[in-house]
Chains A and B, each alone.
Chain A
């Protein structure tokens, strides 16, 4: 049984946590892709920037002695959500909107977003160096232990909050997209931008809403990721590929697809590097072969290959993704 709990802790919770991060990132990328028609390469660094903004705010406010039983970084999340949303709208105004207005091809916007990525990376490193930071401000991470009679199921507070916040975000997003006038307008623009113009939908409003949602969810993902691991300047650049894989797997412009894609990629990655020997160890006596010490599908250093392989398989066999997104 201990082995099974180990599997739950490492495999399932691990997959759920990283899958939530990917899902939050991929929802933003897929909305931007669907409405603005380009792959936003700076999304990872928007996450990192949000986490560093939190770091600064935590630093400023930690002296005030606010204590509500939650880490300050999480209390500040709504503030950072708004700040990041405004920041991404600003990025759009400064770098993407002028190109759209000129009628530039979508790949030019992709290139511009790579330029933005590099600028953000550069700025963050100039200000914060390349070291590690702790978003908890020196406090100890709260760990929940759920007794099972065997080994405990272990879950840290940020992990639990991340899973809850992701679920809440997805529900809110669902209600927004299906119930609100603006949400429906967003879906309309993503579906058929020309027809949306005909009906008088204001593209500017829809674009801003897209950045608010995309940027805000990226802020949640970035802060939670920084709480779960460590805050460092290349925190999120490395998860860009899994996020894109999740986006394409889910179908471009399909927020639910992006959520599903995020969890598929997250679980595949976690399970691929999971050491299955642990689970098989109780059966070592009955197995026809000697159990190797490490039996994982992919060695840990090749973790990144998993989303890449998923991406390639989707591109070969179903470029529209599981939820039939757009391809053009």
Chain B
């Protein structure tokens, strides 16, 4: 530390003071909500905010550390929470007893076989097949495999839906489910990253936007897997539920668990940030060409961070969905599960995990509070309009009022990018 100039030490201290001030204000805000709306309400809000904080850290390391542009957060949250649901939901005995189970197993064997065959064909250029031919064969065989697999799955899935409703879960502990959430979301990130990370940043944005829609479409329509529009509930908790110990205690346990998880993740990530690995990440982000010329495997490092961030999004999503105990694929929308997270990160300060946590909790509180606020505002406006101008407000005023929030999210993004590009808690470049 002797090498630090007085000026920069002063800067660090001021930065620390700012952190303390902002987080104290945040705590006071939560207490205020608890006072006004009651503790169970405040507890629920805080748990959800912490789940968002995990997701925001995931985005923060992707965007803030590595400059990777992910707008498919909703897809990763959805995939992660479904994985967790599948692992931890009670076993559906009807399914395992039915003859649809072995049929479905066979279909999965077909799927694996098809993936292996197409995979082998895609590598055929290694054994001397011309590159163009290999590409063409891969695309054709992929298309054929897709149609075959689709027809192979047709019968078993219909059978599942008819005989047992859906396949149910595996009945394992929810914490195993959360781990699975991270694993699945990480795996999806790996595939996307593998394809897009060598290309320009916009392509990653487009591809992630697409994959999120595809995941959602699939989970919405695969009734045999997710009950589709019928939704699944109640998802198990890793701690005693409100049914056993009452709202206050149940939610407190869950809050303690999420807080502990958040703290552990934060500490680990901070450690990595200051380790050589983190320094290298920043070097790559700030000057890709220089890092590459120094022999760093730029895309390899980026892939690591993209997968890690994706896994955190999956885990955060599982936390969120388990808490609400309801899994409804239609309930996942870009606005709440992608762009809200973006606002959290860029407002909090990209590159700074404390900023991401602050941004997540603060923005989530504002988000939750904005619903009644927007409704009240619109009602006031429509009352005044009626009284003063004989204006007849449309019947769906309530739902229109909520659209105000879409506008505000968009406005916040553009304003922050323009006027406060470093957020409220900017990245403090670690020295040494």
Contacts and interface: CB of A to CB of B under 8 A. Distances in A.
Contacts of A108: 417, 421
B413 interface: yes
B410 A311 contact: no
B196 interface: yes
Interface string B188-203: 0000000110011111
B69 A110 contact: yes
A interface, by DSSP: helix, strand, loop or mixed? helix
Most chain A CB within 10 A, of B201, B202, B406, is at B202
Nearest to B134: A317
B202 to A, nearest CB: 4
B217 interface: yes
B217 A111 contact: no
Contacts of A126: 400, 403-404, 407
B201 A122 contact: no
Nearest to A108: B417
B interface, by DSSP: helix, strand, loop or mixed? helix
B369 interface: no
Nearest to B131: A317
Interface string A236-257: 0000110010001000000000
Contacts, number: 144
Contacts of A248: 203, 206
Contacts of B421: 102, 104, 108
A211 interface: no
Contact of A129 (B203, B205, B394, B409): B394
Contact of B217 (A38, A122, A123, A304): A304
Interface stretch (B76-84, B85-93, B208-216, B291-299): B208-216
A105 B288 CA distance: 13
A116 to B, nearest CB: 6
A327 B200 contact: yes
User: What is the interface residue range for chain A against chain B?
Assistant: 35 or more
Interface residues of B, number: 50
A39 B196 CA distance: 15
Interface string B219-237: 0110000000000000000
Contact of A38 (B143, B202, B407, B417): B202
Given A39-B202, A129-B394, A302-B217, A312 B195 contact: yes
A317 B135 contact: yes
A114 interface: yes
A297 B146 CA distance: 8
Contacts of A111: 69, 342, 346, 413, 417
Contacts of B400: 125-126, 129-130
A297 B405 contact: no
Contact of B414 (A104, A115, A301): A115
Contacts of B201: 105-107, 110
B273 interface: no
A115 B411 contact: yes
Top 4 nearest A-B pairs by Cβ distance?
A122-B407, A118-B410, A115-B413, A122-B406
Given A119-B410, A315-B195, 19 more contacts: A39-B205, A107-B202, A111-B69, A111-B346, A114-B71, A114-B339, A115-B409, A116-B414, A118-B335, A118-B413, A119-B414, A121-B410, A122-B407, A125-B406, A129-B400, A241-B213, A304-B210, A307-B210, A315-B199
18 contacts: A41-B205, A98-B418, A104-B417, A105-B201, A106-B202, A112-B418, A115-B417, A117-B410, A118-B407, A119-B414, A122-B403, A126-B400, A302-B218, A302-B221, A308-B214, A311-B206, A319-B199, A328-B200
